[in-house]
Chains A and B, each alone.
Chain A
Amino acid sequence: MSDQPLKIMVIDDENIVGKRLKPALEKTGDIVETFEEGEKALARFAEDPFDIVVTDIRMEKIDGIEILEQILALSGRTKVIIITGYATVEIAREALSKGAFDFIAKPFKPSDLRAIIERASKELRP
């Protein structure tokens, strides 16, 4: 596996999520940017794609499923991980069928997300 740090984008309208995840994910040397608004995150992604995007589903202006679709349209190699406090079988299946790499229900431990990111990085750098 390459030693290059991963570029990770975290999108969640609850700023506490980004605040908690950023230091936890940066511990392994990866570069993490957090966003509370989907539009700003998408604009940033369009300028400079990320390896991994972690996004909430329920957000005010643009939801996580739409973000997932737009991200994958911009960069097919990016791994999108969906996080939500309103997980259901239907939403989970929709996310996966639209190309999400994984789906995890809130609350979760940062180490749970870290494990998913490690799997994603193995696929990004086989």
Chain B
Amino acid sequence: MSIFIISSDAREIEENIAKKVAEAMGYKLLNRDILATVAANYQIDTDKLSEAMKTTPSLFKKLPSRQWRYYLACIEADVLEKLMADNIVCQGLAAHLYVTDVSHAMKVRVLSGNRQGIQTVAEKRGISLQRAEKWLASELLQRKKWSLTAYNYDETDLTRYDLVINLDQIDPAEAVKTITGAAEYRKFQVMTYSMKCLSDLALAAKVNGALLKSMADIRVQARDGSVVVLTRASSRQKRKKIETIKALAGGVEGVSYVEVHVKKNILKETN
């Protein structure tokens, strides 16, 4: 077993469980502490990265969609790079939404439950149980909206997780034991295929980050150093956009071949 990705409907519980699992396993904990490093690497304000992890862009916000997607791409690229190392517990970085098809990454969802969740939030935030309940409900809605906007993936859909634990039925100490016990299952061990899937994802994320810095509407897939970029452009812009993408993506370490597929941008075409 090498990667645990832990998420919850209550951030406080998620942090607590992830920390205890990392301690119990002797694994490194990967959480939002890395945002400062990501910010430095990409020369972005750390607060903007933190904000991007919480909010969705809208016309009224100071965070435009393109920039928001770029910030998320920077975080994703950095997280995936770090996940290439073994034995990590990852939390708070939305990795459960973009680490897909990596069989040695166990995705764990911890449900705070009514009793445990409300109580923990009330204690940690110094608010009444009633306010904590409202806060949790609105946080859950916000996270659902965020996950759908950012990765087109509803994080409250429990069928997407490998292990789901309800803290109303299993207390946090037992939850930690359950999670660490699952690490012994062979099916979650690293294999050549799963490492390759992870390295392909990491390369695609790096290319995505490099492209989103200066353009929007990009989708990247990678396999063994070959990269396919899907984008949109008007007929007039098509050639230039392909050249730019090939130059930018080709400059990313690990990329040996770039193929660009352009769909017509109907809106720009009619303008």
Binds A, one of B68-76, B191-199, B257-265: B191-199
Contact status A97-B192, CB under 8 Å? no
Interface set, chain A 98-113, CB cutoff 8 A to B: 99-100, 102-105, 112
Contact status A92-B185, CB under 8 Å? no
In the complex, the chain B residue whose C-beta lies closest to that of A104 is B192
Q: With A89-B101, A89-B103 given, is the CB distance from A96 to B196 under 8 Å?
A: no
In the complex, the chain A residue whose C-beta lies closest to that of B194 is A92
Q: Which residues of the partner chain B approach A100 to less than 8 Å between Cβ atoms?
A: 191
User: With the chains together, A116 CA to B188 CA distance in Å?
Assistant: 18
Q: Is B187 an interface residue (CB 8 A)?
A: yes
User: With the chains together, A92 CA to B185 CA distance in Å?
Assistant: 13
Contact status B191-A97, CB under 8 Å? no
Contact status A103-B192, CB under 8 Å? yes
Q: Is A94 an interface residue (CB 8 A)?
A: yes
Contact status B192-A93, CB under 8 Å? no
Contact status A93-B196, CB under 8 Å? no
Q: Which residues of the partner chain A approach B101 to less than 8 Å between Cβ atoms?
A: 88-89
Q: With A89-B101, A93-B103 given, is the CB distance from A102 to B187 under 8 Å?
A: no
Q: Is B2 an interface residue (CB 8 A)?
A: no
User: With the chains together, A88 CA to B187 CA distance in Å?
Assistant: 13
Q: Which residues of the partner chain B approach A94 to less than 8 Å between Cβ atoms?
A: 187
Contact status A96-B191, CB under 8 Å? yes
User: With the chains together, A116 CA to B186 CA distance in Å?
Assistant: 17
User: With the chains together, A112 CA to B193 CA distance in Å?
Assistant: 11
Interface set, chain B 47-69, CB cutoff 8 A to A: none
In the complex, the chain A residue whose C-beta lies closest to that of B185 is A97
Interface set, chain A 78-126, CB cutoff 8 A to B: 87-89, 92-94, 96-97, 99-100, 102-105, 112, 115-116
User: With the chains together, A104 CA to B190 CA distance in Å?
Assistant: 11
Q: Is B189 an interface residue (CB 8 A)?
A: yes
Minimal beta-carbon separation of B223 from chain A (angstroms): 10
Which residues of A pack against B, CB within 8 Å? 87-89, 92-94, 96-97, 99-100, 102-105, 112, 115-116
Q: Shortest 8 CB-CB distances between A and B: which pairs?
A: A93-B187, A97-B187, A104-B192, A89-B103, A92-B103, A103-B193, A103-B191, A96-B186
